[in-house]
Structure 1
Amino acid sequence: MAHGNIVVNTIEQDPGRKRAPVPKAGRLYIYAIVLVASIGGFLFGFDLVVIAGALPFLEADFNLSAAMKGFAVSSAILGAVTGPLFGMWFTERLGRRKTMMLAAFFFMISTIGTAAASGIWDFAVWRFFGGVGIGLAMMSSPIYIAELSPPHLRGVLVNVNQLSNVIGINLAVITSYVFSFEGWGWRWMFAAQAVPVALLIAGLLLIPESPRWLAARNRIGEALKVLSRINGPEQSELEMKEIEKELKQETGAFRELFQPGIKTALFIGIVIMIFSQINGVNMMLMYAPSILAESGISVGSNAILSSIPIYLLILLTTILAFGLIRRFSRRGLLITSVLLMALGHIIMAINLQMHWPPMFTLVPMLIGTGSFTLGLAPLSWVIVSEIYPNRIRSKALAVVCFFLYAASFVTAQFFPMLTEWFIETFDSAAGVYWIFAAICAACALFSWKMVPETKGLSLEKISEFWRDRQRKV
Structure 2
Amino acid sequence: MTTGHPLDDAPLSAFHKRLALYASGGPFLDGYVLSIIGVALVQISPAFNMSTAQEGLVGASALIGIFLGAFVGGWLTDKFGRQVLFTIDLALIIACSIAQFFVGDVLWLVVLRLLIGMAVGADYPIATSLLAEFSPRKWRGPLLGAFVAMWFVGAVAAYIVGEILVHFDGGWRWMLASPAVPAILIVLARLGTPESPRWLLKKGRVEEANAVLVKVFGPGASVEDLPEEVSENLRIGALIRGGYGKRMVFITIFWTCSIVPLFAVYAFGPKILGALGLTGALANYGSAFITLMFLVGCIVGLVLVNRMGRRTLIIHSFAWAGLALLLLGLFPNASAWIVLALFAGYAVTIGGTQILQWIYPNELFPTEIRGSAVGLASSLSRIGAAVGTYLVPVSLAHLGTGATMIVGAVVTFIGAGVSIMWAPETRGMTLGESCAVNNTPASAVKRAA
Q: Does 1:436 align with 2:413?
A: no
- What's the offset of the Cα at 1:77? 0.9
| Structure 1 unpaired stretches of 5+ | 1-12, 424-428
Aligned equivalent of 1:447: 419
Distance of aligned partners of 1:311 and 1:181 in 2 relative to their CA distance in 1, 3 Å threshold = same
Query: Structure 1, residues 169-216: CA drift from partner, whole Å, max 9, x if none?
Result: 111111111111242211111222122111121122121112222112
Distance of aligned partners of 1:162 and 1:227 in 2 relative to their CA distance in 1, 3 Å threshold = farther
- What's the offset of the Cα at 1:454? 0.4
Asked if 1 retains the 8 angstrom alpha-carbon contact of 2:3 and 2:9, the reply is no
Matches for 1:151-230 after TM superposition, within 5 Å: 151-230=137-216
Aligned equivalent of 1:257: 239
- What's the offset of the Cα at 1:23? 5.8
Aligned equivalent of 2:382: 405
- What's the offset of the Cα at 1:397? 2.1
Aligned equivalent of 1:9: none
- d(CA) in 2 for partners of 1:20, 1:240: 6
Distance of aligned partners of 1:466 and 1:96 in 2 relative to their CA distance in 1, 3 Å threshold = farther
Aligned equivalent of 2:30: 44
Residue number among 261, 264, 277 corresponding to 1:283 in the alignment: 264
1:298 counterpart letter in structure 2: T
Q: Does 1:460 align with 2:432?
A: yes
2:320 counterpart letter in structure 1: L
- What's the offset of the Cα at 1:83? 0.2
1:418 counterpart letter in structure 2: S
- d(CA) in 2 for partners of 1:200, 1:400: 25
Aligned equivalent of 1:103: 89
2:238 counterpart letter in structure 1: E
Q: Does 1:371 align with 2:349?
A: yes
SS at match of 2:305: helix
- What's the offset of the Cα at 1:21? 8.4
- What's the offset of the Cα at 1:326? 2.9
Distance of aligned partners of 1:461 and 1:187 in 2 relative to their CA distance in 1, 3 Å threshold = same
Aligned equivalent of 1:309: 289
Q: Does 1:141 align with 2:119?
A: no
2:339 counterpart letter in structure 1: T
Matches for 1:318-467 after TM superposition, within 5 Å: 318-352=298-332, 355-373=333-351, 375-423=352-400, 429-466=401-438
Aligned equivalent of 2:100: 114
Asked if 1 retains the 8 angstrom alpha-carbon contact of 2:97 and 2:177, the reply is yes
Deviates more, 1:377-386 or 1:81-90: 81-90
Asked if 2 retains the 8 angstrom alpha-carbon contact of 1:114 and 1:190, the reply is yes
1:388 counterpart letter in structure 2: F
- d(CA) in 1 for partners of 2:361, 2:7: 26
1:377 counterpart letter in structure 2: Q
Deviates more, 1:332-341 or 1:249-258: 249-258
- d(CA) in 2 for partners of 1:122, 1:366: 35
- What's the offset of the Cα at 1:392? 1.5
Query: Structure 1, residues 403-433: CA drift from partner, whole Å, max 9, x if none?
Result: 012121111111211222203xxxxx22222
Asked if 2 retains the 8 angstrom alpha-carbon contact of 1:148 and 1:227, the reply is no
- What's the offset of the Cα at 1:286? 2.2
- What's the offset of the Cα at 1:122? 1.0
Aligned equivalent of 1:89: 75
- d(CA) in 2 for partners of 1:258, 1:431: 36
Residue number among 265, 272, 276 corresponding to 1:295 in the alignment: 276
Asked if 2 retains the 8 angstrom alpha-carbon contact of 1:108 and 1:197, the reply is yes
2:418 counterpart letter in structure 1: F
- What's the offset of the Cα at 1:438? 2.0
| Structure 2 unpaired stretches of 5+ | 442-449
Deviates more, 1:306-315 or 1:154-163: 306-315
2:97 counterpart letter in structure 1: T
Asked if 1 retains the 8 angstrom alpha-carbon contact of 2:274 and 2:283, the reply is yes
Query: Structure 1, residues 239-274: CA drift from partner, whole Å, max 9, x if none?
Result: 43625xx3xx32232222233222222222222222
Query: Structure 1, residues 373-416: CA drift from partner, whole Å, max 9, x if none?
Result: 2x010112111121001112122223212201212111111121
SS at match of 1:391: helix
Aligned equivalent of 2:447: none
Q: Does 1:266 align with 2:267?
A: no
The TM-score, its normalising length taken from structure 1, stands at: 0.87
- What's the offset of the Cα at 1:466? 4.1
